[in-house]
Amino acid sequence: MRSIFDDRQVSIKCDDKYSYTVTKDGLAYVPGNGKPEVKVLFSEVGSTFLLNYCSSNGPYEITFKDNDGHNLVSIDTDLKLRGFGHNILDTKTIILAFAANKLTTEFPNNLDTLNTKLGFSLKEKKITIANGVISGAKHQVKLSDIRRVQCVAGGALNNLFVFTKEKGGFFDRADIVVPVNELTVPILEAAMRRNTGHGIDFSRGNGFDQPNSNFIIIRYLDSSFFETAPGVFKEDWQKDAYEFVKSFGYDLQTMLGE
């Protein structure tokens, strides 16, 4: 993947509310209320929890969790409405840097060797990926066996239902269900593109104001995930994924005005 954080930092100030600087290794967040600076090292973070990120247009709260799922620190983001339809600049900047740190520059060519934590759920407890296998407490699935992924995003609760069968029947049941986050979405989008030539099924809406789950793409994916270098792709499916994500117009560099 091509990450803008490989050779630079991104600094953003939100009026007098807060300022922050994000690098490939973590972030420094300075509240505007006189409270101490918050420093986060991505090497100490196992997962994130984003409050309101998929159920509103801001503001949000990011909670960083350790490798055992315990809370480390929480910060407020996107308190200021900016000139985008989706008010996500602060949050997406931070979670893309975190994702780049965990997925590494080898992504998506390292799907079968990637070893990292993917998050937590009530059913699966700790969810990980290692040697091409996504594993939870009750289920596991090989990336190479995946044939369908359905995004079920209600806004407050958002999950990816993973299937090894191409078509469902009357007793269609997912082989594993994982939470939507900045790691699971790019990994499963890449796995689906590689295995089938098409990506995650985002056609299902939230049953309220969203006719589909494209807001998940906008919030969690960046076309740079699928580039080896600017305009360079090792496989055709990576270029297809790149063009698909870029078509939504919410790449980080676009939002930064670059």
Instruction: List, for residues 43-60, the tens digit of each pLDDT value.
Output: 999 999 999 999 999 999
In a shared domain, residues 124 and 90: no
**77, 103, 129 - which closes a domain:** 103
In a shared domain, residues 47 and 159: no
pTM of the model: 0.97
Supply the CATH number for residue 95's domain.
2.30.29.30
In a shared domain, residues 144 and 87: no
Which residues of the chain carry a pLDDT beneath 50?
A: none
**Tally of residues, the chain:** 258
Domain count of the fold of the chain? 2
pLDDT, tens digit, for every residue of 128-153?
999 999 999 999 999 999 999 999 99
Q: What DSSP line would sit under 80-107, residue for residue?
A: S--SSSS--HHHHHHHHHHHHHHH-TTT
In a shared domain, residues 18 and 133: no
In a shared domain, residues 70 and 130: no
Provide the residue range defining the domain that includes 30: 4-103
CA dist., res. 162 & res. 243, Å (int) = 23
